[in-house]
Amino acid sequence: MSAGSGFPIVYVRGFAGSAPGIDKAVTDPFYGFNEGSTHVRVGSGDDPLFYQFEGPLLRLHTDEGYHILVEGGQMAYLDRHESVPPNSIWVHRFYDVSSDTWGGRAQDFSVENAARDLLSLIRTLQRKTGAPRVQLVAHSMGGLICRCLLQKIIPDEGGDPRDYVDKLFTYGTPHGGITFDVGFGMLEKVRDALGIEGADIFGPRRMYEYLTPAAVQDPDGPPEHWPAREMPTGPQAFPLEKVMCVIGTDPSDYDVALGLSADAVGIRSDGLVRIENAYVPGAHRAYVHRSHSGRYGLVNSEEAYQSLRRFLFGDLRVDADLVGHRLPDADRDLTWQAEVRLSVRGLPVVLHERLAAHWCPLQLSAGGDTGADGAVRLATTFLSSRLPPPDTSTVRFSLQLRVFSLREEQHRIFAFRDHLEQVRDFDDTLIIDVDLSDGAPSAWAVWNSRIPGAVSDHVPAGPPLPDENPGPGAWSARVPLPPVASAGPASAPLLGDGAAVRLTVAPWE
């Protein structure tokens, strides 16, 4: 049985809209999470390129030995069995009570009721599987239902969310609500005032109501500039390190939703949720060039599935930070940005990419993406020592780092007189090998520009990087940037001679 298989997995779907959308959703036995995808796009030589993804539920069957237990319905199965295996997948069918296809009076949907029913399902699973907690996997609005559970429903009962949920993984959840690029805010006001198809749940007033415990909730509504994206911190709050958000960056493949096209939301989005609204500050993030849903959506993508699998079942967490860098400060009209791509050997997809072309580069200037210690988090990935290729004991991944500058005149328009489009001031890829064969992490890292021949033929040589972390339980080392990035003319070094990528490897439960 794989690591982490002691926790049942509960899937929570997204927004279905009006009664016809709800009725359509409930006819699917797994609320759409069983849907896979096939991709046909142009490959090399202008030939069609076919790739088939089976769907996340089937993949968890084959990859991690999980089971979907139905027999006339999942709740019916739970009613008939006193003992249920913990390595099982469950779909929270919260929309069933709001559908008129079952007969009887359909109940109006509310996030709070869906969260209460989710808590009831979790308690049943804890009792019948013996598992201490469950893993929650949510798409879109489903992530808000999960946050309602963690931030309001359980605290209102005087409970601790850590007693029920082990990890939360969200695809394209509007953690900061849904806003539009058009209408100067009028579309949001009309939506929230009229509750069109129940979409006011994505506005600040309703979000404040279902994300705030009753004991501290202001009856007059949210304070000005209330941060909907933020989850509480503290001794009885759900830990942010147990949350991962997958963020879509491709609006072009998204279908019409809520009566509005992706054009209304804007290009810095997955077609429905803006990039800056799709994550919880302080949580782990992965950016993938996928749309909110549909044929090229997040849920039925290989990219998001691989992040999900490693977040739930991996045993290593690796953080990569840009540290010790110093931006040229002589020219205040220059804006410095970085792009990153993270890939793992053996996977046919890029797990994480933040690119200017996808409207999500890292902002290096003016402290945009810089932490309190001056470090810039390039990527966090989760790896599994169970998954390396059979001919090696090491896990290999790569981190491409590109740094570039844009000149902005005082009137805030980019100047391109000296600009070469798509040419970066620094562009290299760090190849990292992590070995756990001795029980403790060992790592080797080398820049691609210094590897002779093909990367696939590269074999780490020499002693591993020295561990700079004196404490137990984690390993850390700095890899200096190549001279082209860390040095330069004495009067204008590019990133400074102390620039490095700091790698931190720690066990992950």
* pLDDT tens digit sequence for 175-197: 999 988 876 778 878 887 877 77
Residues listed for the chain: 509
pLDDT of residue 289: 94
Residue 361 lies in a domain: yes
Q: What is the Cα–Cα distance from 22 to 97, expressed in whole angstroms?
A: 10
Whether the per-residue pLDDT at 209 is higher than 80: the answer is: yes
Whether the per-residue pLDDT at 260 is higher than 60: the answer is: no
Q: What is the Cα–Cα distance from 287 to 264, expressed in whole angstroms?
A: 21
pLDDT of residue 121: 97
DSSP of 154-196: HHHTT--GGGTEEEEEEES--TT----SSGGGHHHHHHHHHTG
Q: Residue 425: pLDDT band by 50, 70, 90 thresholds?
A: confident
Helix ranges (H only) for 260-300 are 262-265
Tokens read off for 142: 């489903």
Residue 114 lies in a domain: yes
High-pLDDT (> 90) share of the chain, % = 57
Whether the per-residue pLDDT at 296 is higher than 50: the answer is: yes
Average pLDDT over residues 148-172: 97
Q: What is the Cα–Cα distance from 322 to 379, expressed in whole angstroms?
A: 10
Last residue of a domain, one of 291, 313, 335: 313
Q: How far is CA 366 from the centre of its chain?
A: 25
Q: Are residues 289 and 323 in the same domain?
A: no
pLDDT of residue 166: 97
Cβ-in-10-Å burial (0-12, 13-18, 19+) of 483 comes to exposed
Q: What is the Cα–Cα distance from 410 to 255, expressed in whole angstroms?
A: 39
Q: Are residues 226 and 369 in the same domain?
A: no
Q: Are residues 190 and 92 in the same domain?
A: yes
pLDDT of residue 181: 83
Partners of 407 in beta bridges? 334, 415
Spell out the long-range contacts of 278-282 with Cβ–Cβ below 8 A and sequence spacing 24 or more. Answer: 278/172, 278/173, 278/174, 278/175, 278/176, 278/245, 278/247, 278/248, 279/175, 279/229, 279/245, 279/247, 280/175, 280/229, 280/230, 280/231, 280/240, 280/243, 280/245, 281/229, 281/230, 282/231, 282/233, 282/240
Q: Residue 330: pLDDT band by 50, 70, 90 thresholds?
A: low
3-state helix, strand, coil in the chain (%, to 5): 25, 25, 45
Task: Give kind and range of the element (H or E) at residue 448.
Answer: none
Residue 384 lies in a domain: yes
Average pLDDT over residues 13-32: 88
Residue 478 lies in a domain: yes
Cα-based angle 281, 287, 292 (whole degrees, multiple of 5): 100
Partners of 502 in beta bridges? 321, 478
3-state secondary structure of 41: strand
Whether the per-residue pLDDT at 164 is higher than 90: the answer is: yes
The C-alpha torsion from 230 through 284 and 112 to 66, rounded to 10°, is -170
DSSP for residue 379: E
Q: What is the Cα–Cα distance from 451 to 501, expressed in whole angstroms?
A: 18
**How many structural domains is the chain composed of?**
2
In this predicted structure, which of 328-337, 390-399, 430-439 has the lowest mean pLDDT? 328-337
Residue 471 lies in a domain: yes
CA atoms within a 13 Å half-sphere pointing along the CA-CB vector of 54: 9
pLDDT of residue 486: 60
Q: What is the Cα–Cα distance from 177 to 326, expressed in whole angstroms?
A: 36
Average pLDDT over residues 382-394: 75
Q: Are residues 176 and 85 in the same domain?
A: yes
Cα-based angle 86, 89, 94 (whole degrees, multiple of 5): 120
3-state secondary structure of 290: coil
Burial letters for 188-219: b for 16+ Cβ neighbours within 10 Å, e otherwise? beebbeeeebbbbbbbbebbbbbbbeeeebee
Contacts of 389 (CB under 8 A, 6+ apart): 345, 346
Q: Are residues 281 and 405 in the same domain?
A: no
Q: Are residues 423 and 494 in the same domain?
A: yes
Contacts of 120 (CB under 8 A, 6+ apart): none
Q: Are residues 326 and 306 in the same domain?
A: no
In this predicted structure, which of 145-154, 225-234, 321-330, 456-465 has the lowest mean pLDDT? 321-330
Whether the per-residue pLDDT at 143 is higher than 80: the answer is: yes
In this predicted structure, which of 79-93, 137-151, 323-337 has the lowest mean pLDDT? 323-337
Whether the per-residue pLDDT at 382 is higher than 50: the answer is: yes
Q: Are residues 302 and 384 in the same domain?
A: no
Whether the per-residue pLDDT at 258 is higher than 50: the answer is: no
Residue 292 lies in a domain: yes
DSSP of 197-258: GGGGGGSHHHHHHHHS-GGG--TT-PPTT--TTPPP-STTSPPGGGEEEEEE---TTPPPBT
pLDDT of residue 411: 59
Q: Are 326 and 356 in contact (CB under 8 A)?
A: no
Q: Residue 441: pLDDT band by 50, 70, 90 thresholds?
A: confident
Residue 1 lies in a domain: no
Q: Residue 4: pLDDT band by 50, 70, 90 thresholds?
A: very low
Partners of 243 in beta bridges? 168
Tokens read off for 233: 């911190």
pLDDT of residue 189: 83
Q: Are residues 39 and 154 in the same domain?
A: yes
Q: What is the Cα–Cα distance from 277 to 112, expressed in whole angstroms?
A: 21
Q: Are 403 and 426 in contact (CB under 8 A)?
A: yes
Last residue of a domain, one of 313, 344, 360: 313
Q: Are 333 and 408 in contact (CB under 8 A)?
A: yes
Task: Give the gyration radius of the chain's Cα atoms.
Answer: 24
Q: Are residues 271 and 386 in the same domain?
A: no
Residue 144 lies in a domain: yes
pLDDT of residue 41: 62
pLDDT of residue 43: 63
Q: At 377, which amino acid appears? A: R
Q: Are residues 265 and 364 in the same domain?
A: no
* pLDDT tens digit sequence for 446-500: 999 999 999 999 999 899 999 998 777 788 999 999 886 665 555 455 788 889 9
Last residue of a domain, one of 313, 344, 373: 313
For residue 466, the enclosing domain spans: 318-453+460-507
* pLDDT tens digit sequence for 357-377: 999 999 987 666 777 678 999
Q: What is the Cα–Cα distance from 492 to 134, expressed in whole angstroms?
A: 53
Whether the per-residue pLDDT at 66 is higher than 90: the answer is: yes
Q: pTM of the prediction?
A: 0.92
Q: Are 265 and 274 in contact (CB under 8 A)?
A: yes
- Give the domain CATH number at 151: 3.40.50.1820
Q: What is the Cα–Cα distance from 304 to 197, expressed in whole angstroms?
A: 29
Q: Are residues 45 and 106 in the same domain?
A: yes
* pLDDT tens digit sequence for 106-123: 788 999 999 999 999 999
Cα-based angle 115, 118, 119 (whole degrees, multiple of 5): 90
